[in-house]
Amino acid sequence: MQLQANVPRFEYTKKSSCSRTKTTMSMIVKNAIAPALEEELVKQCNTGPFSFGCDESNDTNQQKTLAIVVKYFDEVRERANTGFLDMSICNIGTAQSIFDHLDATFEAKGIPWKNVVAFISDNCNTMVGKRNSVVTKIKERNSAVFDIGCVCHLANLCTVAGVKALPVPVEDLLVDVFYHLQHR
């Protein structure tokens, strides 16, 4: 992108350009920084315990993706870190297909299932059901894995159940709370 074409009224833009800089920076991120960060993340997962979470996209796009994020404790920096491990195309949303993508990612990066301590996902049956779910397949590889679920989804489920249990309509309750707080 030439600055002169987009911002011609400023004198300093007549001698400036950012096209090479932007391209160079994206190449540095893609070819140098990202592989170094991925290498460090994979090393941490290979050598110590970690938890991971995954989620599928529900876009209207034809290609559905499966994002995998890991959380581990970095002993050198003495803190918990979260890192993006992978995003693969996963057009079939069955437990077997999702697990196969997870397993292929772990195998390609040399990450052993024995290092997994917890799994985080939304709380749908495909992910956490008692029979033939992603969790049951993970536990076939490592029976000690703890299924955490997703606290956001759990909070939503709790809220929905709580609202249904209220003896008064929610709208009336909110109006009463508003007037109570307004007249204090």
What pLDDT, in 10s, does the model give residues 85-107?
998 888 888 999 999 999 999 99
pLDDT of residue 7: 46
Higher pLDDT, 6 or 90: 90
pLDDT at position 19 over 50:
yes
**Strand, helix or coil for residue 84:** strand
144: Cβ contacts below 8 Å, ≥ 6 apart:
117
Pairwise CA distance, residues 41 & 35, whole Å: 10
pLDDT at position 33 over 80:
no
Look at the pTM and tell me if it is higher than 0.85: no
